[in-house]
């Protein structure tokens, strides 16, 4: 098509649109000229066959044609203007629908991963169905330890159990990796507890493990947990260690946060002590390194384990652990 022919075709198309008698005729012309297989899109596709020198002028003419056809269709009530008005009362208020919120346990887990992420920790995962070696033996738990009893642990046969702690993920991580290791391991844990306001047979923990070939000390552990306390609970919250015993750490400590509500002065939540117990921790016992094939002379490290429910309950002031599992929106929506 030459430019002259194009101008002629354009004039014809505009005359046809002007003469269209009804909406159906306008629509038919829209399809003929600017529909997907219409003549104007076909011209644009055929542009590559136009001699190079003529292409800019030709292109301009085609675009102008298209614009004029669109304007002509619109003036006849066709094209975009033909869309039907919405058949609704636009003055009515919108329909309300609830946007869900993160569950407090998920929030604590994600926030912990974020805080430890800043310190170079990644997240490791392990199965809830564990074996005796990972959950007990490699963690230096003596064979007759009460936690192994059938009345305390959900056993499936002699070797398989629902993990009672997230500590077996320490074992899995060390067996699969070489130091330095920096991981946190959040997850579900199970114990044969009767459920009451502060106990549940199914709960959550977040394990932490740092192992390096450089010497690692209890002071490193304390500084990391102090940073975590401050980030998780707010300004002014500090940590204290109390001596304790765990089979897989030596020395072992229990970790308290200073009460974020009364700032350590003593209140109902901290039972007037100014402190709230949140975790167990310590320096990884050399025997644990032996079980995973590390040389205890060459590596050292610390480990810790938090109760997720415990942190959620003190952070959000939740008095009963069962509220976390009942899925009652009257409770959940207060934390949204």
Site of interaction with ligand DAH (CB under 6 A): 165, 167, 207, 246, 249, 280-282, 303-305
Return the number of the residue (16 or 152) whose C-beta is nearest ligand DAH.
152
Return the number of the residue (207 or 309) whose C-beta is nearest ligand DAH.
207
Tokens of 306: 């938090």
For residue 152, whether the previous peptide bond is cis, meaning omega lies within 30 degrees of 0, is: no
Q: Is 321 helix (H, G, I), strand (E, B) or coil?
A: helix
Return the number of the residue (134 or 249) whose C-beta is nearest ligand DAH.
249
Q: Please, what is the minimum distance in Å from the beta carbon of residue 110 to ligand DAH?
A: 20
Q: Please, what is the minimum distance in Å from the beta carbon of residue 147 to ligand DAH?
A: 9
Q: Please, what is the minimum distance in Å from the beta carbon of residue 262 to ligand DAH?
A: 26
Can you name the residues that pair with 252 across neighbouring β-strands?
244, 282
**130 vs 164: CA distance, rounded Å:** 9
CB 136 within 8 A of CB 246: no
Tokens of 242: 């109390």
Q: Please, what is the minimum distance in Å from the beta carbon of residue 173 to ligand DAH?
A: 12
**323 vs 115: CA distance, rounded Å:** 26
Q: How many other β-carbons are positioned within 10 Å of the β-carbon of residue 288?
A: 24
**117 vs 114: CA distance, rounded Å:** 5
Q: Please, what is the minimum distance in Å from the beta carbon of residue 120 to ligand DAH?
A: 18
Convert 50-69 to b/e letters by CB count within 10 Å (16 or more is b). beeeeeeebeebbeebbeeb
For 30, 134, 139, 267, 290, the CA distances from 295, given in Å and listed in that order, are 80, 18, 16, 47, 6
Return the number of the residue (20 or 303) whose C-beta is nearest ligand DAH.
303
Q: Please, what is the minimum distance in Å from the beta carbon of residue 159 to ligand DAH?
A: 20
Return the number of the residue (227 or 241) whose C-beta is nearest ligand DAH.
241
Return the number of the residue (167 or 200) whose C-beta is nearest ligand DAH.
167
Burial (CB < 10 A; 0-12, 13-18, 19+), residue 303, is buried
Q: Please, what is the minimum distance in Å from the beta carbon of residue 90 to ligand DAH?
A: 59
Return the number of the residue (232 or 281) whose C-beta is nearest ligand DAH.
281
**35 vs 263: CA distance, rounded Å:** 71
């Amino acid at each position: 098509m030459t430019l002259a022919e194009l101008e002629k075709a354009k004039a014809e198309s505009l005359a046809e649109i002007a003469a269209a008698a009804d909406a159906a005729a306008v629509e038919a012309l829209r399809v003929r000229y600017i529909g997907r297989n219409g003549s104007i899109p076909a011209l644009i596709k055929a542009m590559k066959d136009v001699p190079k020198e003529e292409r800019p002028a030709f292109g301009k003419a085609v675009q102008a044609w298209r614009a004029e056809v669109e304007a002509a269709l619109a003036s006849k009530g066709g094209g975009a203007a033909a869309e039907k008005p919405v058949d609704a009362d636009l003055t009515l208020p919108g329909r309300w629908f609830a946007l869900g919120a993160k569950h407090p346990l998920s929030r604590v887990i994600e926030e912990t991963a974020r805080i430890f992420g800043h310190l170079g920790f990644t997240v490791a995962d392990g199965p809830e169905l564990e074996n005796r070696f990972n959950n007990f033996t490699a963690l230096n738990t003596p064979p007759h330890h009460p936690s192994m009893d059938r009345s305390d642990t959900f056993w499936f046969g002699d070797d398989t159990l629902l993990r009672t702690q997230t500590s077996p993920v320490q074992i899995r991580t060390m067996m699969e990796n070489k130091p330095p290791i920096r991981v946190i391991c959040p997850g579900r844990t199970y114990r044969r507890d009767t459920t009451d306001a502060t106990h549940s047979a199914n709960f959550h923990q977040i394990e932490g493990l740092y192992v390096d070939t450089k010497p690692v000390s209890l002071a490193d552990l304390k500084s990391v947990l102090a940073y975590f306390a401050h980030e998780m609970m707010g300004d002014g919250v500090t940590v204290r260690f109390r001596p304790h015993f765990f089979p897989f750490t030596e020395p072992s400590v229990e970790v308290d946060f200073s009460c974020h509500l009364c700032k350590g002065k003593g209140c109902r939540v901290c039972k007037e002590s100014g402190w709230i117990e949140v975790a167990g921790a310590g320096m990884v016992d050399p025997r644990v390194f032996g079980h995973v094939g590390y040389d205890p002379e060459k590596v050292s490290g610390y480990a810790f384990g938090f109760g997720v429910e415990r942190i959620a309950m003190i952070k959000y002031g939740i008095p009963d652990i069962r509220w976390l599992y009942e899925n009652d929106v009257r409770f959940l929506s207060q934390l949204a």
